[in-house]
Amino acid sequence: MMEQFLENLVEECRGYIGEGNVATYIPELAKMDPNQLGICVISTTGKVYRAGEYMNPFTIQSVVKTIILLQALIDNGVDFVKERIGVEATGKPFDAINMRAGSLESQHINPMVNMGAIAMCSLIKGKTEKEKFERLLNLTRKLACNDKIEVNQDVYLSEKRTGHKNRALAYLLKSYGLIEGDVDEVLDTYFKACSISVNCEDLACIGYCFCSHGKLPRKEERVFESEYATYVNAILTTCGMYDGSGEFAINVGIPAKSGVGGGIMGVVPTRMGIGIFSPELDEKGNSLAGIRVLEKLSKEMYLSIF
């Protein structure tokens, strides 16, 4: 019954395809087929429900900021991370330069915008950048219950070739002492992280881990401390959907993170994890049809935490 409901929801929301645009500032993303829409839901009972193109791969993009934040918390603790990366919404696009009065301070950025995520990459522990990225990739695999997750090399190289604004952001962070280590190496970790290839079920499983405060689906194994889930979920609620987070909170009302690859990871605390994919984006950089699915799902199932 649940899967039929999701199938009907997906078919209904296909009507929104054509109203947005795929990301083009990363050339490889411009090649995506816009006519895709999929969803996976994993409930706390362990049931998995799927509909549409839920198995089609896409790059995680900014959804990985959630995992970068978690890795930084695991490696350094809440107090250390909070001192270096702010928690307030910027009210600006995800790639904006957020300075005030000619100064850049940690409080001016949050973990869900590019500047904050790049700074967090420098907080991941490891002797080399390769080791740091491998730890992040392994955490992603663990959360997704999928040890086959890899980097999409074509997207990674495309991002690396064209990521000039992210380079500018990173060097600005370095000039104000907000980034540790070699800038180009930190950026390489960030570009690779954004290029990790996933599907809806992977995102739903990751969302489940945050909804269960650190536990994997159908297992009692704890991956991370409950307090980290509280921290991450709060930031996802206020900042996870870029400068559309306020409207999303009203219309959907759950912690969530989007990416310009078309993915959305949703967290319904104590109830379910949600993974959605549709590559056409709205003007804020969020999956247009994906948000419509979440709006209708939230209304029908009373998901809003508010």
Supply the angle between the helices 183-194 and 114-121 in degrees, to the nearest 10: 110
- Is 121 contained in some domain? yes
Q: Where does a domain end: 155, 172, 194? A: 194
Contacts 24+ apart (CB under 8 A), 291-294: 291/248, 291/251, 291/252, 291/264, 292/13, 292/16, 293/9, 293/10, 293/13, 293/37, 293/39, 294/252, 294/254, 294/256, 294/264, 294/266
Residues 187 and 70 placed together within one structural domain of the fold: yes
Q: Which residues constitute the domain of residue 260? A: 2-61+197-301
Q: Are residues 123 and 41 in the same domain?
A: no
Helix (H) or strand (E) holding 272: strand 272-277
Choose the final residue of a domain: 194, 218, 251: 194
Q: Is residue 179 part of a domain?
A: yes
Coil, strand or helix: which one is 276? strand
Residue 257 has pLDDT above 60, yes or no: yes
Identified catalytic residue from 54, 208, 228, 242: 242
- Beta-carbon contacts of 101 under 8 Å, excluding residues fewer than 6 positions away, are none
Residues 54 and 88 in one domain: no
Same domain, 169 and 241: no
Same domain (yes/no): 208, 272: yes
Give the active site residue among 232, 260, 268, 293. Answer: 260
In the set 10, 62, 195, 257, the catalytic residue is 62
Residues 131 and 81 placed together within one structural domain of the fold: yes
Mean pLDDT of 33-41: 97
Residues 7 and 52 sit within 8 Å (Cβ to Cβ): yes
- Does residue 111 sit within a domain? yes
Average confidence score pLDDT of the chain: 93
Residue 297 domain-assigned (yes or no)? yes
Q: Does the annotation mark 62 as catalytic?
A: yes
What local confidence, expressed as pLDDT, does residue 243 receive?
Answer: 85
Sole residue written with tokens 């490696």 = 75
Residue 78 lies inside a defined structural domain of this protein: yes
- Number of structural domains found in the chain: 2
Is 190 annotated as catalytic? yes
Mean pLDDT for the stretch of residues 26-45:
95
- Considering only 42-56, 75-89, 183-197, 264-278, which range has the smallest mean pLDDT? 75-89
CATH number of the domain residue 37 falls in: 3.40.710.10
Residue 71 to residue 127: CA distance in whole angstroms: 15
Active site residue 260: yes
Return the half-sphere exposure (C-beta side, CA atoms, 13 A cut-off) of residue 148: 4
pLDDT at 223: 93
The pLDDT tens digits of the residues spanning 85-133 come to 988 876 555 655 555 555 666 677 889 999 999 999 999 999 999 999 9
3-state class percentages of the chain: helix first, strand second, coil last, to nearest 5: 50, 15, 35
| 97 located within any domain | yes
Residues 157 and 266 in one domain: no
Q: Work out the percent of the chain whose per-residue pLDDT is above 90.
A: 83
Q: Which of 65, 174, 192, 257 is catalytic?
A: 65
pLDDT value, residue 87 = 85
d(CA 210, CA 73): 14
Same domain? For 162 and 207 the reply is no
pLDDT of residue 242: 87
Q: Are residues 70 and 176 in the same domain?
A: yes
Please tell me whether residues 90 and 187 are part of one structural domain: yes
> 245 lies in a domain?
yes
Residue 92 shares a structural domain with residue 175: yes
Say yes or no: 17 and 90 in one domain. no
Boundary (domain end) residue, out of 194, 214, 230:
194
Q: What is the pTM of this model?
A: 0.94
Examine residue 306 and state whether it is found in any structural domain, yes or no.
Answer: no
Rounded to an integer, what distance in angstroms lies between the CA atom of residue 205 and that of residue 217? 7
Q: Give mean pLDDT, residues 69-91.
A: 90
